[in-house]
A and B are shown apart, each in its own frame.
Chain A
Amino acid sequence: MSEIEIVNGEKEYIKNKEKIKILKNLNLKFEKGKLYAIMGESGSGKTTFLNIIGTLDDFKSGKLLIEGKDISNLKEDEKANIRMRKIGFIFQEFYLNPNMTVEENIEQPMYINNQYDKEMIKNRTNELIETVGLSHRKKHFPRELSGGEQQRVAIARALANKPDIILADEPTGNLDKENETKIFEMLKILSQNNKCVIVVSHSSKIEQYADVVLKIKEGNIEINEIS
């Protein structure tokens, strides 16, 4: 069974009183253990597509199935539950809480999940901080970190609840080449650890790491499997 399945997904917007079909009749499947790169021009609908997969937005018509369950018609609270347990988000702007330390930022989704006790949260946080190589920075605030370090914290936070799906929206958009490589390598390792990683990126470098490249053009998606 696919981790994510889209059946006849369509999305429209109104721009200057004109209807624009941004995603047309999509039929796609995403599986665990693969890194998917979504590419396309600005305004082509990459982020919208990622938001729909992340249950933060909806198709106008069509179905979105996560682990075989149709979530298109679920209530907002139920979608929130799916996000909490199954999906980890990474954003271009990092979206770390500036008033929380590195470890508090990583702990946050685990407290929300309510499935771990305090000690488990501490242990998991330390483990994640070590994984992203920021043990020496755990008491620091985001403003005291470089862009690359902040994104590594965001990755650790996305992994906190052990999600099967990782969604990254332009994760290297604010980073230099060196950090870009580090982040893509990390995402690749995650996919190799049996996660379904979907990355929206402008950078062509992602093609070196992706198992499948999806190019959005005029509402259609062109799939390119890299062997």
Chain B
Amino acid sequence: MFKNEIKSLFRNKSNKIYIIVFIFLFLILNLSLNLNIIIDNYYDDKMQKELEKAIESSKNQDTAFSEDMSELMKEYLTYAKKINIEEIDRMVRTSNGKELTEEQQQKIQNMQHVESIERNVEKIYTIEGLSDWTVYYILVDSWKNCDDVQNYLDSIGISSYVNWGTSAEIVENYEKINNLANIIKYTICGISLLVLFVCCNNIIKNEKENAKLLNVFGYKERKIKNILFIQLLTILFLGACLGYLVSQVLTFAGSYYLLKTSINVFNIYNIIILVMMILLPIFILTRKFNIEYKSRRRKL
């Protein structure tokens, strides 16, 4: 029975149009829900470039520091640039390949304030100076956490310098755009939900004549609603899957920044979309809706 019903569903021209609408809707919904991540990726990339510029310029300018300090900074900047933060064991080596002494390694591990920061920030790596100067170069996992780390260091009386050179403007822009993205995200989510609701309602309306016929043939109302639920879910699910696929294709097609991380199937946003997909038809079908084949005239 369901097989014939589903077949007839896909033969309906208007349902084909709704599937296309849902593809775009789910693509937009997926992108908007991941808008902050998309923006983060874009700015991460931009900041990376700025950092590279800063490192380059710090190699050439030594006016702010003494010669030794400048050398050390260069060494650490170069070192920080080289290290792979995924490989923590490399942190115990110096830039010229010499291993730190056990005492030095122990000292790094015992840095109380750094440990405290570690609880607040996901990853912080430290390098202790190997000369008379003691410099802590703190690599924060994300430039967005620099403010927090700096505030923390301020609060425990350690002065710090955020090395992002000319990128302060970018940080300011990032905050503005991120706030705007939040507004856009929730607006798009609202509009998408509304469009989704209207489309689902129309699909049900289109199927109403057939539902009335099923009622004449003796199908109980609950069973008819089950059929409509499965039909609606099929269209929604197909639209969502194809929408997801289109976003994948777009990623490979070159919109690298835009879709870089927005299409992780198992992220919380996609789970929200999935739950919403199931809840929406249930909500539409639980509303009172007449499928009885009755005379249009008013009864007494």
Give the residue among A47, A54, A80, A104 with the most B Cβ atoms within 10 A. Answer: A80
- Given A13-B300, A99-B11, residue A56 in contact with residue B293 (CB < 8 A): yes
A8-25 residues with Cβ-Cβ distance < 8 A to B are 12-15, 19
| Chain-A contact segment, one of B30-38, B73-81, B156-164, B215-223 | B215-223
Q: Does A112 contact B (CB under 8 A)?
A: yes
Complex interface: stretch among A27-35, A82-90, A175-183, A196-204: A82-90
**B145 CB within 8 Å of chain A:** no
B184–chain A nearest beta-carbon distance, Å? 39
Interface bits B202-223 vs A (CB < 8 Å: 1, else 0): 0000000110011111111100
> B59 interface residue, CB < 8 Å from A?
no
Minimum CB–CB distance from B213 to chain A (whole Å) comes to 5
- In the assembled complex, A62 has its CB within 8 A of some CB on chain B: no
CB atoms of B295 and A95 under 8 A apart: no
| Segment of B1-9, B95-103, B254-262 engaged in the interface with chain A | B1-9
Tell me if B294 and A95 are in contact (CB < 8 A): no
Enumerate chain B interface residues (CB-CB to A < 8 A).
1, 4, 7-9, 11-12, 209-210, 213-221, 292-295, 297-300
Closest-CB distance, B295 to chain A (whole angstroms): 6
Q: Is the CB of B4 within 8 A of A104?
A: yes
Given known contacts A85-B218, A108-B217, A99 and B8 CB-to-CB distance under 8 angstroms: yes
Which B residues touch A100, using CB under 8 A? Answer: 4, 7-8, 11
Docked pose: A12 CA to B299 CA in angstroms: 7
18 residue pairs of the A-B complex, CB under 8 angstroms, read A13-B300, A15-B298, A48-B297, A56-B216, A56-B292, A57-B295, A60-B300, A80-B218, A80-B220, A83-B216, A83-B217, A89-B216, A95-B209, A97-B8, A99-B8, A99-B12, A104-B4, A111-B4
Residue of B209, B218, B221 ringed by the most chain A CB atoms within 10 A: B218
Cβ B295 vs Cβ A47 within 8 A = yes
Asked if B300 contacts A80 (CB within 8 A), the reply is: no
The answer to whether the Cβ of A76 comes within 8 Å of any Cβ in the partner chain is: yes
Contacting residues, chain A, for B216 (C-beta < 8 A): 54, 56, 83, 89, 95
Determine the distance from Cα of A84 to Cα of B224 in the docked complex, in whole angstroms. Answer: 14
A contact patch SS? helix
Q: A119 an interface residue at 8 Å Cβ cutoff?
A: no
Q: How many angstroms from the CA of A32 to the CA of B27 in the assembled complex? A: 60
Q: With a CB–CB cut-off of 8 A, which chain A residues contact B217?
A: 83-84, 89, 108-109, 112
Q: Which residues of B contact A107 (CB under 8 A)?
A: 4
Given A77-B220, A97-B213; A13-B11 close (CB under 8 Å): no
User: When chains A and B are docked, how far (Å) is the Cα of A54 from the Cα of B215?
Assistant: 12
Partner of A113, one of B9, B218, B221, B295: B218
Task: Using A80-B215, A108-B4, A111-B4 as known contacts, say yes or no to A13 and B293 having CB atoms under 8 A apart.
Answer: no
Beyond A12-B300, A97-B210, is A112–B4 a contact (Cβ under 8 Å)?
no
CB distance from A13 to the nearest CB of B (A): 5
Q: With A104-B7, A104-B8 as given contacts, are A48 and B215 in contact (CB-CB < 8 Å)?
A: no
Q: Does A51 contact B (CB under 8 A)?
A: yes
Residues of A contacting B292 with CB < 8 Å? 56, 76
CB distance from B1 to the nearest CB of A (A): 4
A79 to B63, CA, bound (A): 94
A81 interface contact, C-beta 8 A: yes
A77 to B210, CA, bound (A): 18
Indicate if the CB atoms of A99 and B300 lie closer than 8 Å.
no
Residues in A whose Cβ lies below 8 Å from that of B215: 80
Residues of B within 8 A of A104 (CB): 4, 7-8
* CB atoms of A15 and B297 under 8 A apart: yes
Could you tell me the distance in whole angstroms from the C-beta of A77 to the nearest C-beta in chain B? Answer: 5
Given known pairs A60-B300, A84-B217, A99-B9, the reply for A111 and B1 (CB within 8 Å) is yes
Given contacts A13-B297, A13-B298, A109-B217, 7 further A-B contacts (CB under 8 A): A76-B220, A80-B219, A80-B220, A82-B218, A95-B213, A97-B210, A113-B218
Find out whether the CB atom of B294 lies under 8 angstroms from the CB atom of A56.
yes
What is the bound-complex CA distance between A47 and B296, given in angstroms?
Answer: 11
Q: How far is it, in angstroms, between the C-alpha of A77 and the C-alpha of B213 when the chains are bound?
A: 15
Specify which chain A residues have a CB less than 8 angstroms from the CB of B8 in the assembled complex. 97, 99-100, 104
- The answer for the CA separation of A125 and B1 in the assembled complex, in Å, is 14
Question: Are B300 and A14 in touch, CB under 8 angstroms?
Answer: yes
- What are the interface flags for A37-68 relative to B under an 8 Å C-beta threshold, 1 for contact and 0 otherwise? 00000000001100100101100100000000
| Smallest CB gap from A58: residue in B | B299
Q: Say how far B170's CB is from chain A's closest CB, in angstroms.
A: 55
